[in-house]
Structure 1
Amino acid sequence: MKRRQIIAGAGTVGLASLAGCLGTVGLDSHEATPAGIEPEIREDAGYERTAVDELRLEETVDVSVLSEEIVLVNALTEYEKTLDLGLLGEHQGAEFVAFSSPQVELLGRGLNPIGERSTAELVDLVVTNYGGIGDVDHKTDEDVTVLGQSTTLSTFTGEAELGGRTVDVDVLVTETVAAGDDLVATLGVYPTTFENEGEHVRSLIGGVLEELPD
């Protein structure tokens, strides 16, 4: 997988009883399993898997007078769809990302900042690291089901460069749900003029799998 890295803000866990190195209990580094999409649903929506990227988050956890760095190795499974943009020609104009992040708990407390982020914060995280989208503004919220769990799907509007021009886009992102030992969120982006693409993104959301299909 490709590697991308950002530094997350410091977190604090006040557990004075754990006066020792967190690495000794396996909390120094955790890696997520890439999520996927049901092949039939993906094909019906017209998307192709193009990459599985790696996004590293470094989180500092304070325990008593000690500090330990936790590395969260997140997986981003990317899907793209070719759209006919008229005078601009055909381009990879729609993208869908399944974002997996490892769950880390200590005495019942979650140490993964991804699980506590709103859809707006998740959009900011992806946009900050991948670029290409600007002027993001919240539009609507709705309830959807991902991996059998109810969660929030938020729609945002924004702008993106496509075919050498700036176009209006819709950005659809879900809050995280549990996926085995990981947390999974999804993000879809497509030109606003392609209204039907929103339904394709929703079908992909409903077809999320905990792991990549064979």
Structure 2
Amino acid sequence: MNRRAVVASVGSLTLAGLAGCLGVVGFDEHEASPGGVDATALEETGYERTAVEELAVEEDVGALGYSERIVVRNHMTDHEKAVNLGPLGSQRAAVFAVLTTPKIGVVGRNVNPVEEMSTAELVELVASNYDDVGDVSHEADETVTILEQSTTQSQFTADAAFDGSPLEVALHVTEAVETDDDLFVTIGVYPEQVAFEEEENVRELAEAVVEDGNR
């Protein structure tokens, strides 16, 4: 599964939102800070941080004959856990990711569309960038608190594959919450066969998100 493609798509959406809003000095580069999860929650759930990846998306966008090179720098902070997959043994197949993308204000409004995307739209964005994820079905919604803000976390099921073997997975996606400068979205993925433990773990991890990805 290609997490870089997910981040790239988020960046491309942001660039699209900037079309027609050019000509404002200083709006040519936008960067989010990486988010993370509190160390205590990682220890309690058995996850560990495995990567903090930046992806810069660059594009010339313009309107009315004016164009500008725009750069949007997003971050994906990955956390993984080994779970028992039966015949496949213990595999690092449970993932919790914190996606950050910059807020971009133009004339008093944010033009990063991620802020207004529903969990259904976000999970469609995620699934469309994974070649081996399909047949996504919505299961339930709940309210979680991330960075002291209430937001919706939705659970979906999907068909996927792990090392070429078919695998049914659960996907948890939250609607974006905002800090002063960035938007935060959390994504949890794990095999359905370990849902009895990982469903609660994903909820705990989401509510333990921190702004400083180095913590």
TM value normalised by structure 1? 0.85
SS at match of 1:10: helix
Aligned residue among 10, 17, 21 for 2:23: 21
Please identify which structure carries the higher helix content.
2
> What amino acid sits opposite 1:188 in the alignment?
G
1:174 aligned partner:
174
**C-alpha deviations, 1:23-44, integer Å up to 9, x for none?**
xx21111111000000010111
**What number of residue pairs does the alignment pair up?**
207
Instruction: Tell me, in whole angstroms, the C-alpha distance in 2 between the residues paired with 1:116 and 1:60.
Output: 24
Q: CA deviation at 1:67?
A: 4.2
What is the identity percentage for the equivalent residue pairs of Structure 1 and Structure 2? Answer: 45
SS at match of 1:42: helix
Is 2:99–2:186's contact at 8 Å kept on the other side of the alignment?
A: yes
1:197 aligns with 2:198: yes
Is 2:17–2:112's contact at 8 Å kept on the other side of the alignment?
A: no
Equivalent residues in 2 for 1:94-113, closer than 5 Å: 94-113=94-113
> What amino acid sits opposite 1:137 in the alignment?
S
2:160 aligned partner:
160
1:120 aligns with 2:120: yes
Question: Please, which moves more after superposition, 190-199 or 73-82?
Answer: 190-199
2:52 aligned partner:
52
2:141 aligned partner:
141
2:183 aligned partner:
183
> What amino acid sits opposite 2:17 in the alignment?
G
Is the alpha carbon distance of 1:157 and 1:93 closer, same or farther for their aligned partners in structure 2, counting shifts above 3 Å? Answer: same
RMSD of aligned Cα (Å): 2.5
Q: CA deviation at 1:146?
A: 0.4
SS at match of 2:212: coil
Instruction: Tell me, in whole angstroms, the C-alpha distance in 2 between the residues paired with 1:3 and 1:87.
Output: 29
1:10 aligns with 2:16: yes
Instruction: Tell me, in whole angstroms, the C-alpha distance in 2 between the residues paired with 1:187 and 1:3.
Output: 14
SS at match of 1:11: helix
Is 1:140–1:154's contact at 8 Å kept on the other side of the alignment?
A: yes
Instruction: Tell me, in whole angstroms, the C-alpha distance in 2 between the residues paired with 1:65 and 1:164.
Output: 49
1:90 aligns with 2:90: yes
SS at match of 1:196: helix
Question: Please, which moves more after superposition, 96-105 or 124-133?
Answer: 124-133
Q: CA deviation at 1:164?
A: 3.1
